[in-house]
Amino acid sequence: MPSQLARDADFSAFEGRDGKRTAHKTVLDARQRLTSSSGTRSDYDFQLMHDYADSRLGATLPMAAIVGILATLSSFWVPLVFSALWAGMVIAGLLVVVLTARRFKHSDPNKFSATKWKTSFVAAETAFGIALSLLALFTLVGNPADLAPVMFAMVLVSVAANAVAAHTLPPATLASTLPVTVTVAGTLIAFGGTLNYTLAAVAICGEVFFLFLARQLHASELETISHQAEKDTLIGELEEAREMSDEARRHAEQANIAKSQFLATMSHELRTPLNAIIGFSEVLKSELLGPHQVPQYKEYAGDIHSSGQHLLNLINELLDLSRIEAGKYELNEEVVSLADIAEDCRRMMELRAKSKGIELVFSIGDNLPKLWGDERAIRQVLLNLLSNAIKFTPQNGRVTLVVQRSADGGQLISVKDNGPGIPENEIETVLSSFGQGSLAQKTAEQGAGLGLPIVQKIMDLHQGRFDLFSKLRFGTEVIATFPRARVMDAVAPVVQRRNRLEIYSEAG
């Protein structure tokens, strides 16, 4: 129950932090939109204008080349001096746009003003658009009937080129394309005739289409910038979370080291006087110095001795757990017989089982080979499992100890009882350090809750696994499995081959 409350508290805290983060992001977005000149976030305005400046600077030479080609083609219908004059004025307008974009690129981003730069760009594009619209003056020096298709084609090319180059700033697109479209379309309408009306209508439709295309490109660019900003924000949050996680991990490691050092120091300090208490209480209990005049003293000495032994076992478990968590628990591995260790542990626990009227059943598989492991650690595993089973099994119950082969060729220890069982939601608590189930606390003698965690860690050191299966009112089964690699018959014998002829050097 405490662990569940802790998890609920952590989840509530996480939801609270997530809600605060969402609210902060919403307020920030609203503030950015209020300070923006285009209805988007103000930092998006800077990025869009930055992209516009890059696009205009990158398209300078292509636009100049297009103007030159259009002027050259128009010279077939108008005098060369007029086409060259028009080209010079258009390039001058383009130069104004380029200089404005270059000035923006060299400006201080911290002093960015969306309204100021938007006005500057629109003014420069308007000058450029008016220069393009002077195309309609060609009709003063040329044949209008011949110039109508030429002006129409030049309008479409200039509108298309400017719509693509200035799409990240829609007002600038409109300022650079609308003057030439209006003037040329008006000129064509003034000429009269079905063809000219049609060309004027197509020019206006082309203007509308390219403005729509520029708007779509602007929306796509805005969405890309938005996704990039979200990605950057997410990366920043992940980096912050990683730093917080690293800091929490360092604190946890320091706390764990401090805890292990404290447990080791206190355990050693307690064992010295405790050994004296156990020794003297054993002398008093056995009446080595003579019988007690008061019979209750012998009973009290026995209580002191048993309590001292219980406390010593608890201290030993604390020491083992602290050594394992500190990485100082080293296995003294050798060839051992799992069946023999199990038999010894069964004999040690049999008297305790009989005192509670519990039937202790022992089953060993046939022809079990030797095992490579730490005998003391394996013995501790068996004693902890048997002790828990006997402790939590009621009188006249049954505990079954099985040692046999596992399905993958390893060896396993199974201890099964018909005790009260463990609720499913408490299994995680039981397997944690100092964790105890609610039913276990009510139906059995008190313990520290270190037995199963120590078993788990010892099995991990043996590269094995530990499984606990329990059902309320039906009992519990724990299985400790050693891997096949630790079974001695799983290791192929080493054969040393010798040559039939061995030559020994007689040289000293």
Superfamily of domain 332-486, CATH level 4: Histidine kinase-like ATPase, C-terminal domain (3.30.565.10)
Q: For residue 477, list its beta bridge partners.
A: 416, 469
| pLDDT number for residue 499 | 53
Question: Which residues, 6+ apart, have CB-to-CB distance to 298 below 8 Å?
Answer: 284, 285, 287, 292
φ, ψ for residue 131, nearest 5 deg:
-60, -40
Cβ atoms < 10 Å from Cβ of 457: 19
Among residues 172, 204, 225, the alpha carbon closest in space to that of 59 is found at 172
Half-sphere exposure of residue 464: CA atoms within 13 angstroms, side-chain side: 29
Helix (H) or strand (E) holding 475: strand 475-482
| Pairing of β 411-417 and β 371-374 | unpaired
Instruction: Decide if 403 contacts 365 (C-beta within 8 A).
Output: yes
DSSP state at residue 493: P
Instruction: Decide if 332 contacts 374 (C-beta within 8 A).
Output: yes
Tokens of 223: 């969405």
Give the Å distances, CA to CA, from 248 to 11, 14, 238, 327, 378: 17, 15, 15, 20, 35
- The Cα–Cα gap between 506 and 508 comes to 6
Tokens of 257: 């080291």
- The Cα–Cα gap between 13 and 350 comes to 50
| pLDDT number for residue 34 | 44
| pLDDT number for residue 480 | 92
Among residues 118, 132, 143, the alpha carbon closest in space to that of 86 is found at 132
- The Cα–Cα gap between 323 and 321 comes to 5
Among residues 354, 472, 361, 477, the alpha carbon closest in space to that of 415 is found at 477
Q: Please provide the DSSP assignment of 135-201 as one string.
A: GGGGGGTS-HHHHHHHHHHHHHHHHHHHHHHTTTSHHHHHHHHHHHHHHHHHHHHHH-SHHHHHHHH
Angle at Cα 247 formed by Cα 244 and Cα 250, nearest 5°?
Answer: 150
- The Cα–Cα gap between 396 and 394 comes to 6
- The Cα–Cα gap between 416 and 441 comes to 19
pTM of structure = 0.47
Q: Which residues of the chain have pLDDT under 50?
A: 1-11, 13-14, 24, 27-28, 30-39, 443-444, 491, 500-508
- The Cα–Cα gap between 190 and 184 comes to 10
| pLDDT number for residue 144 | 76
- The Cα–Cα gap between 181 and 155 comes to 6
Among residues 199, 188, 191, 43, the alpha carbon closest in space to that of 109 is found at 43
Per the document, the length of the chain is 508
**Each residue's pLDDT tens digit, 141-162:** 777 777 888 888 888 888 888 8
CA dihedral sign, ordered 318, 322, 324, 330: negative
